[in-house]
Structure 1
Amino acid sequence: MSHPDVILEWLRDPERHLPPQRDGDLVRDGVCSFFIAQKLGVSQPTCGDHLRVLSQAGLVRGKKIKQWVFYQRGEDRIAQAKELLSGEW
């Protein structure tokens, strides 16, 4: 599984996959990019690159809280992408 795939999977059920956060609720506000990078075992800039690509595709959305960005899945866009990919080629 690639890093973007893993990130999307973790964000599907953040309470199961990621630790509690001091700022922001895992479900309501999303997951801090710091915790995503830490769990992936990559640097903040590398994680940021993955999150930027996912965000540009609309698959995740970010919300700034204090100095951090918290990410949630973009469920509408994910559903659209699944529908497009399940069609005939």
Structure 2
Amino acid sequence: MLRTPVNETRLAILEWLRDPVAHFPARRGADAVEDGVTAAAVAARLGVPRAVAETHLGLLTGLGLLRTRRVGRRTYYRRDEVRIAEMARMFEKGW
């Protein structure tokens, strides 16, 4: 985790996913809170190609900060609140 550089884009993604309904358009057949949002939605919000968004989302998923859920051909991303809280506690203790 410490090898992955902090990046404003990734921090913004984490913040947006805290309240996905407020930051991403509704998607038919998917609940942004329960299912998460797609890489395409994140890319549109960032104004970058989907591959760039997928790279950021992949790093966050690899760190355990995001969870994924496959629905058909799409992958949905949402925050892993338990893991984020664990990481926050670890850094508060001076890890």
1:32–1:69 contact (8 Å) kept in structure 2: yes
- Compute the displacement of 1:36 (Å): 0.6
Q: Structure 2: how far apart are the matches of 1:23 and 1:33?
A: 16
Q: Which residue of 2 is the match for residue 51 of structure 1?
A: 57
**The one of 54, 65, 70 aligned to 1:64:** 70
Q: Which amino acid letter does the alignment assign opposite residue 81 of structure 1?
A: M
**Partner secondary structure for residue 67 of structure 2:** strand
Runs of 4+ with >4 A deviation: none
Offset at residue 47 of structure 1 (A): 0.6
Is 1:88 equivalent to 2:88 in the alignment?
no
Displacement after TM superposition at 1:64 (Å) = 1.0
Give the total of aligned pairs. 89
Give 5+ residue unaligned stretches, structure 2.
1-6
Over the matched positions of the two proteins, sequence identity in percent amounts to 37
Partner of residue 20, structure 1: 26
SS across alignment from 1:29: coil
Instruction: Please state whether the residue corresponding to 2:40 is helix, strand or coil.
Output: helix
Please give the per-residue CA displacement for 1:2-43, whole angstroms capped at 9, x wherever unaligned: 111011111100111111012311111111111111101111
TM-score by length of 2: 0.87
Question: What code does the residue aligned with 1:78 have?
Answer: I
> What root-mean-square deviation, in Å, do the aligned CA atoms of Structure 1 and Structure 2 show?
1.3
Residue 35 (structure 2) aligns with = 29
The one-letter code sitting in structure 2 at the alignment partner of 1:20 is A
